[in-house]
Amino acid sequence: MSLGDLYLTQDGYEKLVKELEFLKTVRRRELSKEIAKARGFGDLSENAEYDAAKDAQAMNEKRVSELESKLSRARILDHEKMVSDEVLIGAKVSLKDLDTAEELEYTLVSEEEADYSLGKISISSPVGKGLLNHKVNEDVEIKIPAGILKYKIVKISR
């Protein structure tokens, strides 16, 4: 895991904070109860419920650690200070597919916030990388495993 800055939108930052709070409070209590219940089943050396509960606890603590690390490195994007005529992280980009004339819209975000179903793509994805630093009315060719995508950047907003 890279230890550099992690750029997040305000919403992305708040989502991570909420997840961390849930894992440290609600989930830890649930897992503690599951472990206590499993101990009641007897011999721990042959107790699958106990092993499963301990594994879940370890996974929870690993995620807590990951989130604490990410939040300690988080830098919240300030759209007011960013140029608005260039595709950068945090930009909402309207595109026209030059092959199909289909209109597309993506928001470029960090890997942590990427969610294709919401139109949020990572700046480290092939499409995200291909769009970075381009401007309105530019044609962009992006090489992906399935071929080459050809887009015209129609609009950039924040």
User: Domain-by-domain residue ranges, the chain?
Assistant: 6-76, 79-157
Residue 46 has what pLDDT? 76
Other beta carbons less than 10 A from residue 73's beta carbon = 15
pLDDT of 104 higher than 90: yes
Provide the whole-model pTM. Answer: 0.73
What mean pLDDT do residues 139-152 have? 94
**Tokens matching residue 50:** 């106990």
Evaluate whether 136 touches 157 at the Cβ level (below 8 Å).
no
pLDDT, mean of residues 8-37: 94
Which carries the bigger pLDDT value, residue 45 or residue 151? Answer: 151
**CA contacts within 13 A on the Cβ side of 43:** 2
- Helix then strand then coil, in percent of the chain rounded to 5, is 45, 25, 25
**Do the domains 6-76 and 79-157 sit in the same CATH topology, yes or no?**
no
Torsion sign (Cα): 2, 5, 7, 8: positive
- Total Cβ atoms within 10 A of residue 122: 19
Q: In the prediction, which pLDDT does 1 show?
A: 39
pLDDT score of 3: 64
pLDDT surpasses 60 at 108: yes
Do 98 and 151 meet the contact criterion of CB atoms below 8 Å apart? yes
CATH for the 6-76 domain, from 3.30.1330.10, 2.60.40.1930, 1.10.287.180, 1.10.10.60: 1.10.287.180
Question: CA-based angle 41:44:46, to the nearest 5?
Answer: 90
Instruction: Write the class of the CATH domain 79-157.
Output: alpha beta
